[in-house]
Amino acid sequence: MKKELVTPSFLPLYEQIKLLITRGLADGEWHPGESIPSEMELARRYQVSQGTVRKAIDELVMENYLVRRQGKGTFVATHTDDGTVYRFLHLMPLEGEREYPHSKFIGFGRGKADAQVAKRLDVRPGSGVVVLRRLLEFSGKPVVYDDIRLPAALLKGITSAMIEDHVNAHKGTLYSLYETHYFIRIVSAQERIRAALADETSAPLLNVAAGAPLLCIERVAFTYNKQPVEWRMSYVNTDNYYYFDELN
Amino acid sequence: MKKELVTPSFLPLYEQIKLLITRGLADGEWHPGESIPSEMELARRYQVSQGTVRKAIDELVMENYLVRRQGKGTFVATHTDDGTVYRFLHLMPLEGEREYPHSKFIGFGRGKADAQVAKRLDVRPGSGVVVLRRLLEFSGKPVVYDDIRLPAALLKGITSAMIEDHVNAHKGTLYSLYETHYFIRIVSAQERIRAALADETSAPLLNVAAGAPLLCIERVAFTYNKQPVEWRMSYVNTDNYYYFDELN
DNA sequence: AAGTGGTCTAGACCACGTA
DNA sequence: ACGTGGTCTAGACCACTTG
């Protein structure tokens, strides 16, 4: 087969294929949950062998961009899949079975990015952001208080009702809302974790005394190509839950 | 080539090769830092094609068991390699450059496993453990207080002097000591993170007031085949450092 | 039966490190 | 020059899903 491609070729072929497929995902050629063309078809399209396409897809699967299903095809990964729910929720109960939380929204509004949020989201300080505040409840008790901010430009026309409806109707997460309503796929995140004392805002919301120890988790979530999309600060009461991390 | 192997073959060939190589690593046929036989040689030994060996090695590299070096060979991963130092140290400074910590040992002894430690280490409650206590200092200031316990059976003949010598001489970590002196390779770990208040033990050691918020990190470290080797509880002052986590 | 991904093989050539 | 891992190809066959 020929080796000529649209892109200049100083990268291994399979890396170039990865970039081409990722571009398709970022451009919305294939939406979350849909299947992408078969390996043979992509091989024909890009003029490489099926094995090369396979290696590119293998790596995109490892990065959680795609999901393979034998006999059916290769699909764009989605947050509405079962099993992916806990990929971005690293809280576990000290005792008993893992349980899916209930979201209780306690604030929706618009504001301006302060210096820290602007830096994390890579936007101009003072530019418009959507602000969400919510509690995550396990067994009816509040465990996490979230302060969430996104560039307003990304969520045109969003309303409080849309969020409530989505979360209640499909047991959906915020990330599944971003992808179904705005075709924004969250594919990775960075978290910075510290300990702090509950203050006048967080203590009553989490039903703890002021001065109780809390986990503070600052998260930045990214879509394809490491583009930041969402900033959040989570305050966690770890009396009955812990944050878990797997080191490899 | 023929498909008969010593092991019954209901698994893909490359999975069987993975198991055989992992057994070699666990049995100490190849020690940390040494090279394993070339792909062609392993292919001949196991009577499979080089591509199949390659796939097995690819996955073992992903799991950080092995390291490839083009033109030189494939090597057993080691904690004395540069770049691997921060694989199990997820602390970063809020400001300024990352810095390697200094270990200050403040306790060495032997004891018996309590219920929790026994459960985590998968040993009998009351069985012998080695106990280590230390401070990790950054820029001369204590940031982490570690309480570390390992099955005594694994560390026969260990002394306080051995530890100090190792850590001082090679800028070595505890994990590099385990592997150079006892051929125990730590390959993964699980952490459970909570927030707590500094008590009478931790507060003076970390130079904070009693009641200051601390990160409590309980870690279990594993060798090959998910066998637990080390338990530790870390108390972290996050005034100037944070724990970071990457979600994918 | 046809199409998909999953495994395995065999051979070619390239890039890197060492002698 | 030689041996190592790195890339790419081509083709065979298996396992799973759907019609």
Nearest to B242 among A63, A87, A194 (CB): A194
- Say which residue, A83 or B45, is predicted with more confidence: B45
A236 in B contact zone (CB under 8 Å) = yes
| Chain B residues touching residue A187 (CB < 8 angstroms) | 248
What are B4's two structure tokens? 């008969």
Average pLDDT, chain A: 92
With 60 as the cut, is the pLDDT of residue A3 above it?
no
Predicted local confidence at residue A138, as pLDDT? 95
Lowest-pLDDT choice from A128-132, A162-166, A211-215, B235-239: A162-166
The shortest CB-CB distance from A215 to any of B90, B194, B211 is to B194
Nearest alpha carbon to residue B101 among B116, B117, B89: B89
The answer, yes or no, to whether residue B118 has pLDDT greater than 50, is yes
The whole-angstrom separation of Cα B37 and Cα B74 is: 8
Both tokens of residue A190? Answer: 């960075």
CATH for A91-243?
3.40.1410.10
Could you read off the pLDDT of A145-175 as tens digits, one per residue?
Answer: 999 999 999 999 899 989 988 887 766 789 9
The pLDDT of residue B81: 80
Distance between CA A80 and CA A185 in Å, rounded? 11
Q: Please report which confidence band the pLDDT of residue B8 belongs to, taking 50, 70 and 90 as the band edges.
A: very low
Which residue shows structure tokens 């602000």?
A131
- Whole-number pLDDT of residue B6: 36
- Of the candidate ranges B29-43, B164-178, B222-236, the one whose mean pLDDT is the lowest: B164-178
Enter the tokens of residue A50: 């099926």
Q: Stated in angstroms, how far is B144 CA from D4 C1'? A: 43
| Dist CA B56 CA B15 (whole Å) | 7
Strands A66-69 vs A73-76: parallel, antiparallel or unpaired: antiparallel
Do the Cβ atoms of A154 and A126 come closer than 8 Å? no
CA angle A194, B234, A135 (to 5 degrees): 35
Q: Which of B87, B196, B247 sits opposite A188 (nearest CB)?
A: B247
Contact criterion met (CB < 8 Å) for A213 and B190 = no
The domains of chain B are located at: 13-76, 91-243
Task: Answer yes or no: CATH 1.10.10.10 is held by domain A13-76.
Answer: yes
- E-strand ranges in chain B read 35-36, 66-69, 73-76, 91-93, 102-112, 128-138, 141-151, 188-197, 213-223, 227-236, 241-247
> Which residues on A lie below 8 Å from B247 (Cβ)?
87-88, 90, 188-191
Taking only the tens place, the pLDDT of each residue in A38-97 is 999 999 999 999 999 999 999 999 999 999 999 999 999 999 887 788 899 999 999 999
Phi, psi angles (nearest 5°) of residue A133: -130, 135
Show the tokens assigned to B147.
């309480």
pTM attached to this predicted model: 0.92
Q: Is A62 in CB contact (< 8 Å) with chain B? A: yes
B46 touches strand C (CB under 7 A): no
